[in-house]
A and B are shown apart, each in its own frame.
Chain A
Amino acid sequence: MTQQDESLDVKADANRIASGLPSPDDQLAAIPVREERSWPPGEMGRRSAMKLMAASTLLAVGAPGCRRKPHRKIVSMVDPPEYQQPGIPVFYASTWNEGTVPYGVRVKSVDGRPIKIEGLPDHPVNRGASSAQMQASILSLYDPERLQGPRKGKQDVSWSQVDHEVIAALKAANRIVLVTRSLLGPSERAIVERLLKACPAASHFVYEPIHDGTRRTAWKSIYGRDGELQPQLDKARIILAIGSDFLGTDGPDLESTRRFATTRCLDGQGKAVEVLSRLYVVESAMTVTGSNADHRLPLRPSAMRGFALALVSAVKGEFGSLDRFAAEHHLDKRLLRAMAGDLASHKGKSVVLAGPHLPTAVHAAVALLNGEIGAMGKTLRWEPRPAALPVSRVAAIEQAIRDEGGADVVCWLGVNPAYDWPGGGLAELLKSVKFTIGYGQYHNETLDACTFALPDTHFLESWNDAIGPSGLSTLCQPVIAPLFKSRQQAESLLVWSKALAPEDKELADCKDWHDFVQGRWRRDLFAADSSWPGMWNAALRTGMVQAGDSKAGESVQLDLDAATRLAAWDDRSTQGDSATGDRLEVLIRPHYALADGRFASNAWLQEMPDPVSKLVWGGGVMVGPETADRLGISTDSLVRVNRSDDGPSVVLPVLVQPGVAAGVLVVTLGHGRTRAGDVGTGVGVNVAPLIGKQGDSSSAFVSVGVSVQVVPKGPPDRSSRLVRTQKTFSMMDRPIVLQGTASEYDENPAFVKTRKHVPPLEQIDAEYDYTQGPKWVMAIDQNACTGCSGCVIACQAENNISVVGKDQCARGREMHWMRIDRYEEGSSGNPTVYQQPMLCQQCDNAPCESVCPVNATSHSMEGLNEQVYNRCVGTRYCANNCPYKVRRFNFLDYRGEAMRDAVRQLVYNPQVTVRSRGVMEKCTFCIQRINAAKFHAKNAGEKIADGMVQPACAESCPAQAIVFGDLNDPDSEVSKMHASSLAYFVLEELNVRPNVAYLARVTNPHPEVTPHSESGHSVSSHSKGGHS
């Protein structure tokens, strides 16, 4: 029996979670034991008081005996470390590695319980920002639906039995196939290599359902070595994205968003037309990036190569092919010429990015373009050490498993091919292998089919590391002991490797995975450093270390011939005769919240409105209005999409999404999980059968010539029902999101004032004097905000906001305090998109306050609109009278199960009340953070410095679009924003005196091209919002 086996069943008795940190010699080891009481509900009578006393005596005597023994020595909390105070949060630096890009995180831990994940401020990639997925991973930590212990078939087994059987199988096998994700951790890669060495029969494959395989391949052949091009968008004036959703799903979105945002903000210096960047987006789907474009051009994926090639020659000065292309595709010639002209005239200050779903030929053409405009080394940086391993070819994996009698052992490590295997139909292949090992945090489709289903740890329970840019190494450290009987995947690989290679001295020295990581760091990163373990401790504290030789600034040479040859390669499967436009193309994209489906068990992410479609809990096939008309379908129709005539097909509900290119069907992977716990199972439809198997140069995510049949609607089906949190996308000619162009701004920086009429606003009663203390206000820069929706989840995590589920969302009862409103104006084929974060405006003349009959909502002396949950009786009059409709009502007992579940309730922020049924709630500007800062400042005898208080939304924002602070401090950033000539208040004409200033959007269209005259048929009579 290993030590883990002695642990109690945590689900049954998680009230006493002893969070012992498996920690070594360093000082950061101790985290206090948490003693959570389960209080008897209701009144405390004499009898229950006696019972409780008896029980606590028992606990006091017996509990230490039943506590799990930490498997390494732990510092006793009898003598707690001085920084550990009850109720005072402690922050740990770590690395989030559950997505496709590693980001630095700062984990907030209260009483040994991590409760919030924030961006690590010093991390060079995300710089304190955090994405929705990072924020939401805290919910998965406390998810009792995670696999709680190793299982063989339907049976719970012990880890020793697992090790015994697995090692025996590995020893006996003739062929072993290891399939992993594109491991972000170098130590993980090292242990896989060790295992391969110890086990010559094994071969390793990297599998990701959504990947940038074609791009990596193209780059390798063009630039001569493996690596990655990273855009330096802050240095770019002209950005052209060809199918690249760099602000959303393509690459390090948090970094790209930050860099891009710096080029979109006006600080009053210089002329806007010279300062602002100009973003051209040519894309097939409607994406977050496309929503932020100055000029957007919908184009089918198969036309992208022709477009890129035409652009190459146009940049060189020959416009013939570009004009021909424009004519063929009915595009605005002037726009294309303007684009080419802009690129050519901004050499070294422009960049072209291509989406990972495009075939190699497009990447080659884009490489030629970037070469032509001098982007390399200026706006593009070569990273020789990409964070992720390149993917293997799916056919190769299939071959390794199937051929020559088949593999004896297949290990599916962290992957879920039974769900997302291209083309579907992995089941048979899975079954054909006698001994399969599935590793994952959740019991998923693949683990279901495996001999052994092994639980991996959450990243907050794990030791790990990752690669940052320019030789940076980041560390992932556990902040809580594994809640369940899970064992980190790498730890298992270590145990197995040790057993298979007893002669390996280095492995034998490693008592556990922590030792291995530490050993590797010492060996690889600190070889020359004498300050060990000081450096290690510094890494634990800061989460990262700059070590080894930094290869920053390394440049690569474009192989012109190779690129030209590759660009000329015409892939028949995706190329086709695109111009005729009759054939339908399908494009498969990752989901904004659920990625490739790996986060489908996370309820916060399921309920996060898609930034583009505002869909929650499921998705469908998105088509443009033109295509919908042609196919005779509309939103909520059901269609069967066939990849090829005899190929697999899926039945999907239709969503008519303005902006999707004509002839294109866009589907997102991530839904339709059949084994993803109560949360993710049966939500939406799985589109994996539509993914192709990637060839050398063709893309797996685009296929041309798909057929579509309308399926008669049967009885209402919960999984394929479309639910959107927003129904009206027109601004109805109302001055809600105000916008102007750069040249308008240069003519009149206060152009906003002309955009709407605000009558003189008078006050009946005396003005309240807010100058005695701070006056908390917010400013939102609509130029920086991309609509990514990370703040929505950050707010949810911070403020214990309930999840309501699909049916309640369909009833319009989502609880988010922060939402992103989206408006689409102009032609429905290619609309102009406006996005606006909307939260409580903390009005000084709050209409909600005067109508509450019981005084449950009132104004603070610091200008906050406060909600007293205890006093609220739920008349909902306040919500009715709120012009912004940002108040949220607990129509049912939404906290319900989560509140009662011993594990789930641990996710709650102890500083925020969990609201009961029948109570109104709303944004409080994170008053718990304001108060914490006030207490701190008072104890320290200081004033609250600007930036010391950050609401969760502002803290997470990668674009720093949300700024919070004291209006009474004239030097605060928020005061300056409030004073900006672009500042206005939404609905200020109602005299509610809102306290959230919005900075009007300033776009930078090409002066010779009117925005969005280029394509699409105008069906909307609303030409442009923002005029009164």
Chain B
Amino acid sequence: MSEQSAALTPPPLVTGSVSVRQLDNAINGPLESFPTMRWWIAISVTGTLAAWFFYCFTYTALVGIGSWGNNNPVGWGWAITNFVFWIGIGHAGTLISAILFLLRQRWRTGIARFAEAMTIFAVICALQFPLIHTGRPWLAWYWLLPLPNANNIWVNFRSPLMWDVVAVSTYGLVSAMFWYTGLLPDLATARYRATNGLRKFVYGLLSLGWNGSNRSWSHYEKAYLLFAGLSTPLVLSVHSVVSFDFAVSVIPGWHTTIFPPYFVAGAIFSGFAMVATLIILLRKAFHLEHIITRDHLEAMNRIIIATSLMVGYAYLTEFFIAWYSGAAYERFTFINRATGPYAWAYWTMVSCNVLVPQLLWFKRIRRSPLLMYPIVILVNVGMWFERFVIVVSSLAGDYLPANWDYFRPTWIDIGLFVGSIGLFLTLVLLFCRFLPTVALAETKALLPGSQAGGGHHD
């Protein structure tokens, strides 16, 4: 009986005996010291990639979508693939900070801040693409918004792209506010610790006059809870709405009712993979192994394998429905995905998203940062290919065979994608230098002895 209860007791979320001061030092230390050479090297690489992104962005704006590989049947190519990919990456953050918070999953604490930051950065990356992918971005940036105008032309609310504009901007704004709210007590800590006047001023400004009073805490807790409540439906809605871009169309391979849950599962899958990809590096680099523990990694891996199975199930369901519905065009589309000109992309997707994550059934792999690393990287790859397969292969072979063509990316396409990774990582690196990467105030609450009832928490 006691053995059983011991097994049911969750492992400690912060290992070893850590004092509050040690924790402060561990988290705020990097903010207060001069960046290491490793950081400079890293940011010069990612910064170069980000610069390449903006070069390609400007090039596209000046020359046109013709600088990409898009053609007559394939109106959307890598840009939309990247958009969906980045929006998906963002999902882990909101899931961790909102849903897991509401479900009282305390283990989220160690990774929540980082995952939330990732959400913001991923949304920033994602938002680049819908704008640059329009033919006339100089008009699109405000014509797509429901602004009153002299032409008396309103936007078309029947268009899923319009829903996208609303869903993604809401998501971006709420995530940013949620994140910022969570940062407030930690920014105040940074302000208290700051010795330099400028730092004190900036962090003071950012902490909005936080004084650690009961009022501050109670407002903060309420606001945080409210944002968690607000964000929770967004986790489900954003990617559902993004999936409507496809599901609402008439194109076989797009026109599928399974898309909303399938996209959400995929988004969480890819989001967790991306969080794992980065947080493994982070905990190593900043020596946070005791705060972001193997238990955290294992918990994430469990979610990854669960969502992997969901995604795999969705793949099977698509095929089953394509066969069962008797819709000849749809049936062809799916057979064509697996055997046609894009079969290489399809099988990359299946291997990375369904086959490889099965290795996570092994506890040893699940708990080893080294062994799980290639798996989560491959999941990132696989999820990009999933979006590519959906977007491109469906368009490339739709109803009239006379239209069919093949999509070949150009170096601008590649630049925009690789560059967006650079942009993302640059933002992550800047984040690591200037803001606490772990939710300090929350973690303090998890320290042994900080809660009534000893080290136990439910």
Nearest CB of chain A from residue B171's CB, rounded to whole Å: 18
Q: Which residues of chain B are within 8 angstroms of A821 by Cβ–Cβ distance?
A: 400, 402
Given contacts A811-B69, A892-B63, contact A881 B251 (CB under 8 A): yes
Given contacts A732-B401, A813-B66, A889-B75, contact A855 B156 (CB under 8 A): yes
**Pair A883/B153 contact, Cβ less than 8 Å:** no
**Cross-interface CB contact of A854 among B76, B143, B160, B251, cutoff 8 Å:** B143
**Cross-interface CB contact of B159 among A808, A853, A889, cutoff 8 Å:** A853
Given contacts A813-B72, A851-B160, A854-B153, contact A731 B165 (CB under 8 A): no
Complex Cα gap A838–B405 (Å)? 17
Q: Which residues of chain A are within 8 angstroms of B398 by Cβ–Cβ distance?
A: 883, 885
8 A Cβ contacts from B292-319 to A: none
**Cross-interface CB contact of A728 among B137, B140, B404, cutoff 8 Å:** B404
Q: Which residues of chain A are within 8 angstroms of B73 by Cβ–Cβ distance?
A: 812, 885
Q: Which residues of chain A are within 8 angstroms of B395 by Cβ–Cβ distance?
A: 880
**Pair B136/A853 contact, Cβ less than 8 Å:** no
Q: Does B155 sit within 8 A of A, measured CB to CB? A: yes
Query: A64-72, A85-93, A870-878: which one contacts chain B?
Result: A870-878
**Cross-interface CB contact of B65 among A734, A736, A874, cutoff 8 Å:** A874
Q: Does B133 sit within 8 A of A, measured CB to CB? A: yes
Complex Cα gap A874–B398 (Å)? 21
Q: Does B399 sit within 8 A of A, measured CB to CB? A: yes
Nearest CB of chain B from residue A837's CB, rounded to whole Å: 11
8 A Cβ contacts from B121-175 to A: 133-137, 139-140, 143-144, 153-156, 158-162, 165
Q: A877: nearest residue on chain B (CB-CB)?
A: B161
Complex Cα gap A572–B399 (Å)? 51
8 A Cβ contacts from A880-934 to B: 880-881, 883-885, 888-893, 916-920
**Chain B contact residues, majority secondary structure:** loop
Q: A804: nearest residue on chain B (CB-CB)?
A: B66
Q: Does A992 sit within 8 A of B, measured CB to CB? A: yes
Q: Does B48 sit within 8 A of A, measured CB to CB? A: no
**Pair A854/B155 contact, Cβ less than 8 Å:** yes
**Chain A contact residues, majority secondary structure:** loop
**Pair B136/A872 contact, Cβ less than 8 Å:** yes
Q: Which residues of chain B are within 8 angstroms of A968 by Cβ–Cβ distance?
A: none
**Cross-interface CB contact of A851 among B66, B248, B399, cutoff 8 Å:** B248
Q: Does A726 sit within 8 A of B, measured CB to CB? A: yes
Q: A819: nearest residue on chain B (CB-CB)?
A: B402
Q: Does A323 sit within 8 A of B, measured CB to CB? A: no
Complex Cα gap A918–B61 (Å)? 10
Q: Which residues of chain A are within 8 angstroms of B154 by Cβ–Cβ distance?
A: 855
Q: Does A814 sit within 8 A of B, measured CB to CB? A: yes
Q: Which residues of chain A are within 8 angstroms of B71 by Cβ–Cβ distance?
A: 811-813
**Pair B153/A855 contact, Cβ less than 8 Å:** yes
Q: Which residues of chain A are within 8 angstroms of B136 by Cβ–Cβ distance?
A: 872-874, 916-919
Complex Cα gap A883–B249 (Å)? 10
Q: Which residues of chain B are within 8 angstroms of A811 by Cβ–Cβ distance?
A: 66, 69, 71, 408
**Pair A734/B134 contact, Cβ less than 8 Å:** no
**Cross-interface CB contact of A891 among B65, B153, B248, B329, cutoff 8 Å:** B65
Nearest CB of chain B from residue A520's CB, rounded to whole Å: 50
**Cross-interface CB contact of B402 among A726, A871, A881, A891, cutoff 8 Å:** A726
**Pair A728/B401 contact, Cβ less than 8 Å:** yes
Given contacts A880-B75, A891-B70, contact A823 B402 (CB under 8 A): yes
Given contacts A874-B140, A889-B75, A918-B64, contact A850 B158 (CB under 8 A): yes
Complex Cα gap A822–B72 (Å)? 17
Q: B161: nearest residue on chain A (CB-CB)?
A: A853
Complex Cα gap A728–B69 (Å)? 19
Q: Which residues of chain A are within 8 angstroms of B251 by Cβ–Cβ distance?
A: 880-881, 883
**Pair A893/B399 contact, Cβ less than 8 Å:** no
Q: Which residues of chain A are within 8 angstroms of B25 by Cβ–Cβ distance?
A: none
Q: Which residues of chain B are within 8 angstroms of A59 by Cβ–Cβ distance?
A: none
**Pair A873/B159 contact, Cβ less than 8 Å:** no
Q: Does B321 sit within 8 A of A, measured CB to CB? A: no
**Pair A876/B399 contact, Cβ less than 8 Å:** no
**Pair A734/B139 contact, Cβ less than 8 Å:** no
Q: Does B332 sit within 8 A of A, measured CB to CB? A: yes
Q: Which residues of chain B are within 8 angstroms of A851 by Cβ–Cβ distance?
A: 158-161, 248-249
**Pair B63/A838 contact, Cβ less than 8 Å:** no
**Pair A812/B401 contact, Cβ less than 8 Å:** no
**Pair A812/B72 contact, Cβ less than 8 Å:** yes
Nearest CB of chain B from residue A446's CB, rounded to whole Å: 37
Q: Does B355 sit within 8 A of A, measured CB to CB? A: no
Q: Does B18 sit within 8 A of A, measured CB to CB? A: no
Q: Does B102 sit within 8 A of A, measured CB to CB? A: no
Q: Which residues of chain B are within 8 angstroms of A884 by Cβ–Cβ distance?
A: 399-400, 403
**Pair A812/B405 contact, Cβ less than 8 Å:** yes
**Pair B401/A730 contact, Cβ less than 8 Å:** yes
Q: Which residues of chain A are within 8 angstroms of B74 by Cβ–Cβ distance?
A: 812
8 A Cβ contacts from B391-449 to A: 395, 398-406, 408
Complex Cα gap A920–B64 (Å)? 13
Q: Which residues of chain B are within 8 angstroms of A190 by Cβ–Cβ distance?
A: none
**Pair B65/A918 contact, Cβ less than 8 Å:** yes
Q: Which residues of chain B are within 8 angstroms of A880 by Cβ–Cβ distance?
A: 75-76, 249, 251, 395
Q: Does A829 sit within 8 A of B, measured CB to CB? A: no
Complex Cα gap A731–B405 (Å)? 15
8 A Cβ contacts from A794-846 to B: 808, 811-814, 819, 821-823, 836, 838
Nearest CB of chain A from residue B165's CB, rounded to whole Å: 7
Q: Does B281 sit within 8 A of A, measured CB to CB? A: no
Q: Does A53 sit within 8 A of B, measured CB to CB? A: no
Q: Does B250 sit within 8 A of A, measured CB to CB? A: yes
8 A Cβ contacts from B55-94 to A: 63-67, 69-76
Q: Which residues of chain A are within 8 angstroms of B135 by Cβ–Cβ distance?
A: 872-876, 889-890, 917-920
Q: Does B223 sit within 8 A of A, measured CB to CB? A: no
Nearest CB of chain A from residue B189's CB, rounded to whole Å: 44
Nearest CB of chain B from residue A571's CB, rounded to whole Å: 41
Complex Cα gap A918–B137 (Å)? 9
Complex Cα gap A890–B136 (Å)? 10
Q: Which residues of chain B are within 8 angstroms of A46 by Cβ–Cβ distance?
A: none
Nearest CB of chain A from residue B354's CB, rounded to whole Å: 27
8 A Cβ contacts from A849-873 to B: 850-855, 871-873
Complex Cα gap A880–B249 (Å)? 8
**Cross-interface CB contact of B134 among A808, A873, A893, cutoff 8 Å:** A873
**Pair B156/A852 contact, Cβ less than 8 Å:** yes
Q: Does A879 sit within 8 A of B, measured CB to CB? A: yes
Nearest CB of chain A from residue B115's CB, rounded to whole Å: 31
Q: Which residues of chain B are within 8 angstroms of A732 by Cβ–Cβ distance?
A: 332, 401
Q: Does B177 sit within 8 A of A, measured CB to CB? A: no
Q: Does B328 sit within 8 A of A, measured CB to CB? A: yes
Nearest CB of chain B from residue A547's CB, rounded to whole Å: 48
Complex Cα gap A871–B135 (Å)? 12
Nearest CB of chain A from residue B417's CB, rounded to whole Å: 18
Nearest CB of chain B from residue A988's CB, rounded to whole Å: 12
Q: B397: nearest residue on chain A (CB-CB)?
A: A728
Complex Cα gap A374–B36 (Å)? 99
Q: Which residues of chain A are within 8 angstroms of B401 by Cβ–Cβ distance?
A: 728-732, 734, 736, 823
* Interface 0/1 of A709-751, CB less than 8 Å to B: 0000000000000000011111111101000000000000000
**Pair A888/B134 contact, Cβ less than 8 Å:** no
**Pair B75/A876 contact, Cβ less than 8 Å:** yes
**Pair A877/B158 contact, Cβ less than 8 Å:** no
Complex Cα gap A857–B319 (Å)? 34
Complex Cα gap A916–B136 (Å)? 10
Complex Cα gap A847–B159 (Å)? 10
Known pairs A726-B402, A920-B135, A990-B399 / 17 extra A-B pairs, C-beta < 8 Å: A734-B329, A736-B401, A811-B71, A819-B402, A821-B402, A836-B402, A847-B249, A850-B156, A854-B155, A871-B153, A872-B135, A873-B139, A874-B65, A874-B136, A874-B140, A875-B140, A918-B135
Ordered nearest first, which 7 A-B pairs have the shortest CB separation?
A: A874-B135, A918-B135, A812-B71, A891-B66, A892-B66, A876-B75, A821-B402
Q: Residues on A close to B: CB < 8 A?
A: 726-734, 736, 808, 811-814, 819, 821-823, 836, 838, 847, 850-855, 871-877, 879-881, 883-885, 888-893, 916-920, 986-987, 990, 992, 1028
